[in-house]
């Protein structure tokens, strides 16, 4: 019995330590929740809205609405630290540090309003800032496409690679 208790305590300690030591992902659950509330209509009759709902819920959607899955691009162990054009645009209006779990619990309505306001601002932006004729993010969503282009933000990529490489030394 004593060995079982000691083993259980070591296992619990290791699990808690592993959970605490995990690097912080750049995604905030509240952002995803509000995005789904604002843009995903699972029961839509419109073909474009159905296509978008399926794309947003698919394995290639979800986190990859704002981030870039770097594994298919040959980069491992970067997590969700690299944003695409949509995630980069949102980062101009939403700072991760302002949306702690404590604040989200304390001020849920205010947090929700701030996030929705950022979606509204970003939705009106051109998906390619260098091309004034590019569709806005909201236009892409209205046609059933995910707003992000899948291309890594160069600054995010450089920083994520440097962080990864410094941790592997």
> Cα separation of 81 and 100, whole Å?
17
Residue labelled with tokens 């986190």:
63
Residues 32-80 have pLDDT tens digits of: 899 999 999 888 888 988 989 888 888 777 888 999 989 888 888 888 8
pLDDT at 21: 35
Side-chain-facing half-sphere of 57: CA atoms under 13 Å? 12
Number of folded domains that form the chain: 1
- Token digits for 11? 């296992």
**8 domain residue, yes or no:** no
**Distance from first CA to last CA of the chain, Å, rounded?**
41
**30 domain residue, yes or no:** yes
3-state secondary structure 69-117: CCHHHCCCCCCCCCECHHHHHHCCCCCHHHCCHHHHHHCHHHHHHHHHH
Residues recorded for the chain: 169
**11 domain residue, yes or no:** no
Range of the domain at 130: 24-167
State the pTM of this model. Answer: 0.78
Mean pLDDT, the chain, integer: 84
Q: Per DSSP, what are the bridge partners of residue 126? A: 136
Residues 120-142 have pLDDT tens digits of: 999 999 999 999 999 999 999 99
**12 domain residue, yes or no:** no
Residues 3-41 have pLDDT tens digits of: 544 554 454 444 433 333 333 344 578 898 999 999 998
> Cα separation of 81 and 165, whole Å?
14
Burial (CB count <10 Å: 0-12, 13-18, 19+), residue 67: buried
**19 domain residue, yes or no:** no
């Amino acid at each position: 019995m004593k060995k079982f208790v000691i083993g259980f305590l070591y296992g619990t300690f290791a699990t808690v330590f592993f959970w605490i030591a995990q690097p912080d992902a750049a995604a905030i659950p509240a952002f995803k929740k509000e995005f789904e509330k604002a843009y995903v209509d699972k029961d839509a009759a419109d073909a474009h809205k159905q296509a978008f709902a399926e794309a947003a819920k698919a394995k290639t959607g979800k986190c990859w609405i704002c981030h870039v899955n770097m594994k298919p691009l040959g980069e491992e162990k970067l997590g969700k630290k690299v944003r695409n054009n949509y995630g980069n645009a949102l980062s101009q209006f939403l700072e991760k540090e302002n949306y702690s779990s404590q604040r989200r619990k304390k001020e849920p309505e205010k947090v929700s309003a701030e996030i929705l306001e950022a979606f509204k601002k970003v939705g009106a932006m051109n998906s390619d800032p260098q091309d004034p004729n590019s569709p806005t993010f909201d236009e892409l969503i209205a046609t059933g496409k995910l707003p992000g282009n899948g291309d890594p933000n160069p600054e995010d990529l450089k920083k994520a690679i440097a962080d990864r490489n410094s941790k592997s030394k």
